Amino acid sequence: MNKKKQGILNHIIIVFACLCATIPYLLITASTFNTSVNIKKGDIFSNASFQNWVNNFSKLTNDSNFANALRNSIIVAIITVFIGVLLASLAGYAFIVYRNKFMDKLFNFSFFSIMVPSSAIIIPLFMMLKMFNMLDSLFSIVLVSLSLPFLIYLFRQNTKLFPTELIKAARIDGLNEIMIYFKIYLPNMKAVFVTASLILFIDTWNSLLYPLVIIQSQKNITLPVYINSIGSSATSDYGAFMIALMISTFPILLVFVIAQRYFRAGMKTM
């Protein structure tokens, strides 16, 4: 009996936490079905209709900056994930498979750079990029968003559990080291690759500081910068703004729901 009570209390706590976690997004989504005037008043439930949603949506999509921002965000996130996960997995693999004292030192070096906060290097990065004429470029955002130290740690931790017999067997079968990485290691470590991609995708997609500092022209802005600028201006349309907020979370929500099975497997060895 006592056990049953505990179980129910357990569920109540979790459901309450789940409600807290989703309420902001639910309210934002609910308010997209209302008119700008009502949203501004804080009255988001009366007068809700699908027609309002369509109106808000078309107002947002009529703004060419929004289309630009969405496209740039997608490009930056995909390229960052591709480069970051490839480089970090190669390094994480090398740190374990070719492990020796020197490699451990290199790993420690990379691990300690986790502790360098981005706010501590933003000014010199800005000035370096300015010096090399790389400001206002999407590729510069990619280069500074890779967050390799963390990903290398993730891959190294997981590679420790990778059976070395597989690699030895593949060597005897005559595969070269690069082929072993692609044909043996990558397929067997799918969960970790998905986890790493997801973390990097989310971080890059949501990042405000780097694009805010690096990007200077309207055509190169990313979604968080766009949302920040229309959200801070007093004249912006609340309905369109709510749709923008909703859309900014939607792609990651989609990716996450699809990949969450792998994601939980990949987090296990952190």
Partner 1 sequence: MKLRYNKYRFAFAFGSLAIIVLFTLAPLVYSLQLSLQSGRANNLEFSGLDNYRRLFDDAIITKALTNTIGFSVILTPMVLIISFLLANCINKVRSQKLKGFYSVILFFPSITSPVAYAFFFKRLFAADGFLNNFTLLFNPQAESINYLLTPIGARIAIVIICIWAWSGYYTMLLLSAMQSVDPLVYKAARIDGLNNRQILRKITLPIIKPVVLFCSVLLSGGIFQLFAEIMIISKGGPEHSTITLAYYIYQLCFVYVPQFGYAASIAILIFLISGTIGFIQLRLGEKSI
In the bound state with partner 1, the residue whose beta carbon lies nearer, of 41 and 51, is 41
Contact 247, 67 (CB under 8 A): no
Note whether 105 binds partner 1 by CB under 8 A. Answer: no
Question: Which residues 6+ apart lie within 8 Å of 166 measured at CB?
Answer: 184, 188
Q: Does 66 bind partner 1 (CB under 8 A)?
A: no
- x/- contact string, 217-236, with partner 1 (CB under 8 A)? ------xx--xx--xx----
Contacts to partner 1 from residues 6-35, by CB under 8 A? 7, 10-11, 13-14, 17-18, 20-22, 24-25, 27-28
Q: How far is the CB of 226 from partner 1 (least distance, A)?
A: 9
Q: How far is the CB of 219 from partner 1 (least distance, A)?
A: 20
Q: Which stretch binds partner 1 (CB under 8 A): 46-54, 61-69, 74-82, 95-103?
A: 95-103
- Please state, in angstroms and rounded to a whole number, the distance separating the CA atoms of residues 85 and 90: 8
Q: Residue 209's closest CA among 111, 141, 255?
A: 141
CB atoms within 10 A of CB 126: 16
Burial of 145 (0-12, 13-18, 19+ CB in 10 A): buried
CB of 56 to partner 1, least distance (A): 16
Tell me: does residue 103 bind partner 1 (CB under 8 A).
Answer: yes
**Residue 100 within binding range of partner 1, rule CB under 8 A:** yes
Minimum Å distance from CB 201 to partner 1?
A: 9
CB of 121 to partner 1, least distance (A): 4
Residue 129 CA to residue 125 CA, distance in Å, equals: 6
**Footprint on residues 196-215 left by partner 1 (CB under 8 A):** 202, 205-206, 208-209, 212-213
What is the DSSP annotation of 36-72?
A: HHHHHHT--STT--HHHHHHHHHHHHH-HHHHHHHHH
Question: How far is residue 3's CA from residue 177's CA, in Å, rounded to a whole number?
Answer: 54
Task: Find the binding residues for partner 1 in span 234-263 (CB under 8 A).
Answer: 241, 245, 248-249, 252-253, 256-257, 260-261
* CB-CB contact of 187 with 109 (8 Å): no
| Closer CB to partner 1, 190 or 264, in the complex | 264
Could you say which residues in the range 137-166 bind partner 1, by CB under 8 A?
143-144, 146, 148-149, 152
Is residue 87 a contact point for partner 1 (CB under 8 A)? yes
Q: What angle do CA 211, 214, 215 make, to 5 degrees?
A: 75
